[in-house]
Chain A
Amino acid sequence: MPIRFPHSVRAAVLAAIAALTGCGGPSPVEKATAEKTLLLGNGAEPQGLDPHLVSGVIESNIIRALFEGLCVEHPSENGKPLPGVAESWEANERFTDWTFHLRKDAQWSDGHPLTAHDFIFAFQRILNPRLGSEYSFMLYYIIGAEDFHQEHRSKVICAEDPELPTPWETVEKEVNLSGNPEAAEGSFDQKGLDHLSTDELRQLKADPSLLSWPESIPENTRSFLIDHLVAFDESGESLWDRIGVAATAPDDHTLEVKLRGPMPFLPELTKHYTWFPLPEHVIHQFGAEESRFTDWTLPGNLVSNGAFTLKSWRINDHIEIVKNPRYWDAETVQLNAIRYFPISNVYTEARMFFNDQLHATYALGPELIAYSREHFPKELRNELYLGSYFIRCNVTRSPLSNPKVRLALSLAIDRQSVIDNILQGGQQPARGLVPPSGEYQSPDLVYFDPEEARRLLAEAGYPDGKGFPDIRFLTTDRESAKRGAEALQGMWKEHLNISVGIDQMEWATYLSTMFKKEYDLAAGGWIGDYLDPTTFLDMWLKDGGNNRTGWFNRDYERMLREAEQIADPLARYQKLQDAERLLLEERPILPLYWYTRNYLLHSDVKGWHPLLLDNHPFKFVSLESSHQ
């Protein structure tokens, strides 16, 4: 006999079920769409919101919505800057001298007028060596900026002085100007002449032996340098003025910038947050401009000039920004708010999207791509992204010091197979280092040819892999990194008959192992900062800082220097292509694939187009319910 419940119980149970499962009101996304609030997965907790003290994509996603530079990103066209704070701009014929005309109604979100001086202040701050910004080099194009940031004081003060007893070239080469990291902690030698404080310089004047001077520099030159540095410090003149860093504000609404070489794509560069203005009046209120630890970026304190302002920020939970009514183009802005969720767990993020809790995910794990393709084909996005994945070779160690070995390793990689079987994200097999962008084409030199690989390896002295030493492949501890490394390991074994061991290391350990060059092969990648091949090619200069392979080549350096001085864009690309060809012939890095961005985007989101830099301008994004 079936169990019968009294009516009242049944009614209560039905009500409870309805409340829990059915007809339970709108989902978070439906609600947010109605309120015009964009819900975004944003990868991880940002390191901060001070545009000068961050360097990641996660931070950039928020900072771009809060602040605005001279130009802004076009919503759908790559490399086509739109007016931002600058209403218009012009350059001389060589693209070295630029004038930006700022809009007169530009203001900060607290109503304070925004002038060209806020740009100058920001440039001075990011170039201030005491702030310790990681991204100062983005302004090195400005004449004098590098000298200011690296405090080339001796050069600025003494190089052109006719009374300097020793030629400046000798001084620059011989004297310890910029410091020696190996020297004793806290010693003058560690700091270098240019980085000594006024007091330290006075001590040095009394006792020049506190710094190790080379024999080639006579006494009178030593005292000349010290005296002039002390005199400069005592004069109270700022180094910025003395150098005459070529960023100036002739009036409140005009910004003039002079560059070291022609740069047709400067407006493109000004879209990067390193070129944004900052509110001097606010930053000074919360501490010294060079202090890394102040509260000016917290909600309630942060004053911005972009389409949005900061409303709330709970660590590891969310950041919410709301429409800025004082923004000059507030009419265009359709969203009322954006909520960023720092979701580092990609599976949680995807599940939240599938369950209508997010408008867009930050990423999509390779394991989830097939599932998404089947169940969310409209939402799955697969877009080209300006990034390149490669393997660094430590050319200071045998056997990778031999270019033939490097080329053989590269030729033995079946890139399409790695993409189809491991990455599964529709990446493009790399044909060179620089991914396709605009008119620039990478020389087509990277391909799969196991025959040729074996031949080269034999030429290098290892026929059929005989006698080839065991080498190690350094990679990060991510699961996907491991699978990729194992695939390559297998290909090298199969095609070249050599054994490559895999070293998986936790992120910071991986980085420091690579920096110390304690590796043979190391996985690596690079995301372009702006749409120009130099963002990938400059890395391989001898002092490029991100080189880490020990490779350098005088011709390569020369070609890049020459390209810096070419004003005609096509001729310039030609020169850069020659440089890339040389790099690929030498192959200190083995390019693997060009990135794609795989993520999920809700159909309610409008005005969101594929962009190579993935810098979607939120002022053009809107929300419209697609359920009606």
Chain B
Amino acid sequence: MLRYLASRIFQGFLVLFALYTITFFLVKAMPGDPFTGEKNIPEDVKRNMREQSGLNDPLFVQYLNYPKEVLLKGSFNYSIKKRRPVVEIIAQAFPASFVLGISALIFAVMLAIPIGVISALRKNSWVDYSGMAIAMVGICVPSFVIGPLLQIGIATRVPILKIAGWDSPIDIVLPAITLGLATAAYLARLTRGGMLEILSQDYIRTARAKGLSTGRIMIVHALRGGLIPSVAFIGPAFATLISGSFIVESIFQVPGMGQHFVNAIVDRDEFLVLGLALFYGFLVVIMNLVADLLVGFLNPRVRIAELDG
């Protein structure tokens, strides 16, 4: 178990370093620089600006400097445009994204698992068809359509809901629905598929033959196996949800990470881009690890094959 964990953590480091390398050179390859603006800046002023951010060093020195600063001093440098520590920017934005992501995930799970399970139980009935049709709509309709629809259709009619803003807990509702809908749709389909596979297994037939009630069969025997694909999906989906969505954040004025991702690239704010990419990479690595451990716990076959192998 420990050996497995250690090797996964080592792999995680490699992934992050590869991610850093790719991001670093992609940022450098973009045309323009952080000081490109509409107004002209004299060359020596630009040189002074670059100097303060350490961008006058040769490329390779810069490439090595950043990880050195991160590993030795724990410093992720300053955002060049916003002139604040990258860590501080992420620390301000992440809580909003995290709360929104968690709420979206809870919404998705609460909606999708029951729909998936019922659809599987009533396979090829109208319940199944309508559930899956809704799921298909959820997958197909993008959030930049759903968000404004919710704003116009619901927020204007329900006074306690605002069009946009992030002040009170109630402000989470609409963005969470918008963000969670696509996830819910995938999840419902995965749950249905997983359950269908499990329900055709011999041990379920045995349970039925023993005369157990459908509820007991579902909860005790079928769900544990039937949810495996969903759990494997939830890990990385969770990382995506809590790292923010530019579209949902911009529609609902959520002060989260998604806006920083896009704006940092438009601004050529390289340290912020690197910090965000690494942070996101870190989340994905951790969530994948957690999901794999959970799947191992749910599925003994995986445990034998991976953990002890």
Q: How far is the CA of A546 from the CA of B255 in the complex (A)?
A: 34
Does residue B92 face the partner (Cβ distance < 8 Å to A)? yes
Does residue B74 face the partner (Cβ distance < 8 Å to A)? no
Does residue A131 face the partner (Cβ distance < 8 Å to B)? yes
Does residue B156 face the partner (Cβ distance < 8 Å to A)? yes
Task: Kindly identify, within residues 155 to 187 of chain B, every residue whose CB is under 8 Å from any CB belonging to chain A.
Answer: 155-160, 162-166
Q: Residues on A close to B: CB < 8 A?
A: 19-22, 24-25, 27-28, 45, 47-48, 50, 53, 55, 129-136, 150-151, 178-179, 181, 185-186, 191-192, 195, 291-293, 314-317, 341, 343-345, 347-348, 351-352, 354-355, 357, 506-509, 511-513, 515, 544-546
In the complex, chain B residues whose CB is within 8 Å of the CB of A293 = 52, 78, 83
Q: How far is the CA of A21 from the CA of B96 in the complex (A)?
A: 27
By the criterion CB–CB under 8 Å, are B56 and A186 in contact? yes
Partner of B31, one of A19, A354, A512: A512
Does residue B93 face the partner (Cβ distance < 8 Å to A)? yes
By the criterion CB–CB under 8 Å, are B253 and A343 in contact? yes
By the criterion CB–CB under 8 Å, are A351 and B164 in contact? yes
Pick the most buried of A20, A133, A293: most chain B CB atoms within 10 A of its CB.
A293
- Min distance, Cβ B37 to any Cβ of chain A, angstroms: 7
Q: How far is the CA of A513 from the CA of B36 in the complex (A)?
A: 11
By the criterion CB–CB under 8 Å, are B39 and A55 in contact? yes
Per-residue interface assignment for chain B, residues 244 to 263, with 1 indicating a CB less than 8 Å from any chain A CB and 0 otherwise: 00000111110110011001
Instruction: Give 8 pairs: A residue, B residue, CB < 8 Å, sorted on A.
Output: A21-B157, A24-B160, A130-B48, A341-B165, A351-B148, A355-B162, A357-B162, A509-B32
By the criterion CB–CB under 8 Å, are A47 and B82 in contact? yes
By the criterion CB–CB under 8 Å, are B251 and A345 in contact? yes
By the criterion CB–CB under 8 Å, are A315 and B89 in contact? yes
Does residue B213 face the partner (Cβ distance < 8 Å to A)? no
By the criterion CB–CB under 8 Å, are A25 and B159 in contact? yes
Q: Give the nearest-CB partner of A186 in chain B.
A: B56
Q: How far is the CA of A316 from the CA of B47 in the complex (A)?
A: 29
Q: How far is the CA of A195 from the CA of B42 in the complex (A)?
A: 13
In the complex, chain B residues whose CB is within 8 Å of the CB of A511 = 32, 36-38
Instruction: Please judge, given known A-B contacts A47-B82, A345-B250, whether A352 and B163 are in contact too, CB under 8 Å.
Output: yes
Q: How far is the CA of A186 from the CA of B47 in the complex (A)?
A: 10
Instruction: Please judge, given known A-B contacts A55-B37, A291-B52, whether A357 and B89 are in contact too, CB under 8 Å.
Output: no
By the criterion CB–CB under 8 Å, are A545 and B42 in contact? yes
By the criterion CB–CB under 8 Å, are A352 and B40 in contact? no
Q: How far is the CA of A316 from the CA of B253 in the complex (A)?
A: 8
**Chain B interface main SS type:** loop
Per-residue interface assignment for chain B, residues 30 to 74, with 1 indicating a CB less than 8 Å from any chain A CB and 0 otherwise: 111000111111111111110010001010000000000000000
In the complex, chain A residues whose CB is within 8 Å of the CB of B43 = 179, 181
Instruction: Please judge, given known A-B contacts A344-B250, A545-B40, whether A314 and B163 are in contact too, CB under 8 Å.
Output: no
In the complex, chain B residues whose CB is within 8 Å of the CB of A507 = 266
By the criterion CB–CB under 8 Å, are A48 and B37 in contact? no
Instruction: Please judge, given known A-B contacts A47-B81, A55-B37, whether A357 and B164 are in contact too, CB under 8 Å.
Output: yes
Q: Give the nearest-CB partner of A345 in chain B.
A: B250
Q: Give the nearest-CB partner of A544 in chain B.
A: B40
By the criterion CB–CB under 8 Å, are B82 and A315 in contact? yes
Does residue B18 face the partner (Cβ distance < 8 Å to A)? no
Partner of A341, one of B37, B42, B93, B253: B253
By the criterion CB–CB under 8 Å, are A351 and B82 in contact? no
- Min distance, Cβ B144 to any Cβ of chain A, angstroms: 10
Task: Kindly identify, within residues 129 to 154 of chain B, every residue whose CB is under 8 Å from any CB belonging to chain A.
Answer: 148, 151-152
By the criterion CB–CB under 8 Å, are B250 and A20 in contact? no
Does residue B189 face the partner (Cβ distance < 8 Å to A)? no
Partner of A314, one of B45, B84, B250, B255: B255
Partner of B52, one of A292, A314, A352, A546: A292
Q: How far is the CA of A348 from the CA of B251 in the complex (A)?
A: 6
Pick the most buried of A21, A48, A132, A136: most chain B CB atoms within 10 A of its CB.
A132
- Min distance, Cβ B48 to any Cβ of chain A, angstroms: 4
Q: Residues on B close to A: CB < 8 A?
A: 30-32, 36-49, 52, 56, 58, 78, 81-84, 89, 92-93, 96, 148, 151-152, 155-160, 162-166, 249-253, 255-256, 259-260, 263, 266-268
Q: How many A-B residue pairs have CB under 8 A?
A: 150
In the complex, chain B residues whose CB is within 8 Å of the CB of A136 = 45
Q: How far is the CA of A186 from the CA of B59 in the complex (A)?
A: 13
Q: How far is the CA of A185 from the CA of B92 in the complex (A)?
A: 37
In the complex, chain B residues whose CB is within 8 Å of the CB of A512 = 31-32, 36
- Min distance, Cβ A166 to any Cβ of chain B, angstroms: 24
Q: How far is the CA of A55 from the CA of B35 in the complex (A)?
A: 12
In the complex, chain A residues whose CB is within 8 Å of the CB of B253 = 316-317, 341, 343, 345, 348, 352
- Min distance, Cβ A298 to any Cβ of chain B, angstroms: 8
By the criterion CB–CB under 8 Å, are B36 and A48 in contact? no
- Min distance, Cβ B77 to any Cβ of chain A, angstroms: 9
Q: Give the nearest-CB partner of A313 in chain B.
A: B92
CB-CB nearest 8 A-B residue pairs: A545-B40, A24-B159, A508-B32, A317-B255, A132-B49, A316-B255, A512-B32, A132-B48
Q: How far is the CA of A508 from the CA of B33 in the complex (A)?
A: 8
- Min distance, Cβ B131 to any Cβ of chain A, angstroms: 26
Q: How far is the CA of A344 from the CA of B253 in the complex (A)?
A: 9
Q: How far is the CA of A48 from the CA of B81 in the complex (A)?
A: 8
Q: How far is the CA of A50 from the CA of B89 in the complex (A)?
A: 18
Q: How far is the CA of A27 from the CA of B32 in the complex (A)?
A: 44
In the complex, chain B residues whose CB is within 8 Å of the CB of A150 = 42, 44
- Min distance, Cβ A532 to any Cβ of chain B, angstroms: 17
Identify 7 new A-B residue pairs, CB closer than 8 A, beyond the known A48-B82, A317-B166, A348-B250. A27-B159, A132-B49, A191-B47, A293-B83, A344-B250, A348-B151, A545-B42
- Min distance, Cβ A501 to any Cβ of chain B, angstroms: 19
In the complex, chain A residues whose CB is within 8 Å of the CB of B45 = 129, 132-134, 136
Q: Give the nearest-CB partner of B252 in chain A.
A: A348
In the complex, chain A residues whose CB is within 8 Å of the CB of B266 = 506-508
In the complex, chain A residues whose CB is within 8 Å of the CB of B89 = 315
Q: Give the nearest-CB partner of B152 in chain A.
A: A351
By the criterion CB–CB under 8 Å, are A343 and B78 in contact? no
In the complex, chain A residues whose CB is within 8 Å of the CB of B260 = 316
Q: How far is the CA of A61 from the CA of B256 in the complex (A)?
A: 24
Q: How far is the CA of A585 from the CA of B41 in the complex (A)?
A: 29
By the criterion CB–CB under 8 Å, are A21 and B158 in contact? yes
Instruction: Please judge, given known A-B contacts A20-B158, A506-B266, A512-B32, whether A343 and B164 are in contact too, CB under 8 Å.
Output: yes
In the complex, chain A residues whose CB is within 8 Å of the CB of B96 = 317
Q: How far is the CA of A131 from the CA of B44 in the complex (A)?
A: 11
By the criterion CB–CB under 8 Å, are A129 and B48 in contact? yes
By the criterion CB–CB under 8 Å, are B263 and A45 in contact? yes
In the complex, chain B residues whose CB is within 8 Å of the CB of A192 = 44
- Min distance, Cβ B123 to any Cβ of chain A, angstroms: 32
- Min distance, Cβ B213 to any Cβ of chain A, angstroms: 31
Instruction: Please judge, given known A-B contacts A134-B39, A291-B52, A292-B83, whether A314 and B156 are in contact too, CB under 8 Å.
Output: no
- Min distance, Cβ B92 to any Cβ of chain A, angstroms: 5
By the criterion CB–CB under 8 Å, are A513 and B31 in contact? yes
By the criterion CB–CB under 8 Å, are B36 and A508 in contact? yes
By the criterion CB–CB under 8 Å, are A132 and B46 in contact? yes
In the complex, chain A residues whose CB is within 8 Å of the CB of B148 = 347, 351
- Min distance, Cβ A364 to any Cβ of chain B, angstroms: 15
By the criterion CB–CB under 8 Å, are B44 and A179 in contact? yes
Q: How far is the CA of A344 from the CA of B37 in the complex (A)?
A: 18
In the complex, chain A residues whose CB is within 8 Å of the CB of B83 = 47-48, 50, 53, 292-293
By the criterion CB–CB under 8 Å, are A357 and B39 in contact? no
Q: How far is the CA of A431 from the CA of B173 in the complex (A)?
A: 51
Instruction: Please judge, given known A-B contacts A185-B56, A317-B253, A508-B31, whether A348 and B163 are in contact too, CB under 8 Å.
Output: yes
By the criterion CB–CB under 8 Å, are B160 and A19 in contact? yes
- Min distance, Cβ A163 to any Cβ of chain B, angstroms: 28
In the complex, chain A residues whose CB is within 8 Å of the CB of B41 = 132, 134, 545
